[in-house]
Structure 1
């Protein structure tokens, strides 16, 4: 009974690691939304820009050109500062996003290496050899026991099943790069 429970636990861990690997962009996106909100400086610049634009709309260009030009220069200065603040925030988001995605993928890879190393000699599933006839040797890798399915092959099978399933494709589109910050 214990080998079957062990195989089920390993199969579940493989599935969860693959699921986590697919969901990394979703988690990163949520973390970035929390960590990199619009700063108070940007909000102040936006409100001052709106105030200056409403003030500019109230000034008649023909009668008060000097005042109009002064307001226009202030607007240009605020727009430049706002663009610089947004670009700095976007660059920080890009750096942290890249680091978090890389760290998540690294953790998944380490998890897979540990699992493959730990279960390299024991088969996950043992079936009749005739059922696996043309591919028995490949499916048994790295155990070498014909009629069995090894951990490496199991990881590949799970990955293919998860990638081909419609639910995972929908999850990828939800967690993917659909919206830029």
Structure 2
């Protein structure tokens, strides 16, 4: 099966639903993580301290989606019915059967919960089983140990570090740690993630 371009889609699990991101999610998203410096520390820009500031980030992401750079999703916590973060498919290369899951954040009250595990389970499953991708990558700042640990817990393999890869919004340089999962690894990873839920 050859890979196909990801499109906005709704995927539902037991704990979360991922659905196409829209301005309608803004109030929930600001309540979940607006003004929290720790949530936004690694997101590549200043913390949004007002709904308008978060709205600008959301608008910019949706504009990039219209250019085909991202497929953004709101992450809905089913028990509350509220959007608690967002995530995207990005760096999409259908010819080479690969994409990245990234630009992900969740409100701090949902860290180390089923939210990230099931969101990744849904997005990875869709990428490998429906879109025909052969590789999904994830990456993070080398100083973001919490994110590296979370990615490793998913079963992704650490591939290496790109040194002085990207300038942070404060002007310092970040090294970027790359991880990946391949389609041949997915069945085992899927079982492990489902068991964690």
Higher radius of gyration, 1 or 2: 1
- The TM-score, its normalising length taken from structure 2, stands at 0.22
Q: Which has the higher contact order (CA 8 A, sep 6+)?
A: 1
Q: Which has the higher strand share?
A: 2
- The TM-score, its normalising length taken from structure 1, stands at 0.23
